[in-house]
Amino acid sequence: MSHSDTDHPTPPAAADAAPVIHEDRLWADDGWTAKVIKNEDDEGWAVAMTLDGQVEPALVGPWTMGRDKKNPKPLDAFAFATLVKTASEVIRRHEQQNHAALHKSTKVASARGRIRVTLDIVPDEDSPYAELAAFDDLGEELARVRVAANFNFNHEVASRWVAGGFAAPAGARED
């Protein structure tokens, strides 16, 4: 079974996949597990959506009460598909936010034309750092320098770096 990137995160290989379960309060299928749980904060119920192989749920949200107003509504195929779609979107947004935090870019006007300046943070556990780089309109790299992971990157800093001929800015690291 294959999924496009737009569907939802790819579950682990079939050999590692959890068995298919379709129960009223537990539904495991297609790389995801939905578990209806008692909401500790009030009298209601919640549902936790966990991607196979993950410890923490990607999504926890309120769950509908059943007709008896005491027990939760049973899970079904439609509800499960909706939960998978929602949880997948949460994961996708989280990945986009992480990417945006680690990769920044701006364009600077110069005598050479427009130059794209990037800052890519490498979150190494022992020694995190970032790389400041410049590229011309054709994508050719013009310069690259290693800087501290907390380097203050903005359009003004990038413009000064380009105008200064790509000299190592304050905060550059010698490795």
**In terms of domains, do 77 and 143 share one?**
no
More confident site: 41 or 87:
87
Are 59 and 136 in the same domain?
no
Q: Which of 101, 81, 96 is nearest to 150 (CA)?
A: 101
Domain that holds residue 153: 111-163
Give per-residue pLDDT as tens, 54-83.
999 999 999 998 888 888 999 999 999 999
Same domain assignment for residues 86 and 28:
yes
In this structure, are 125 and 145 located in the same domain? yes
* pTM confidence score: 0.63
Query: Same structural domain for residues 97 and 130?
Result: no
pLDDT of residue 173: 57
Predicted confidence (pLDDT) per residue in 126-170, tens digit: 889 999 999 998 999 999 999 998 999 999 999 999 999 998 876
Sheet hosting strand 113-122, strand order edge to edge: 103-110, 113-122, 129-135, 141-148
Contact 131, 146 (CB under 8 A): yes
- On whether both 70 and 138 belong to a single domain, the answer is no
Instruction: Flag whether 171 is in a domain.
Output: no
Residue 169 inside a domain? The answer is: no
Same structural domain, 39 and 71: yes
Q: State how far the Cα of 159 lies from the Cα of 100, in Å rounded to an integer.
A: 20
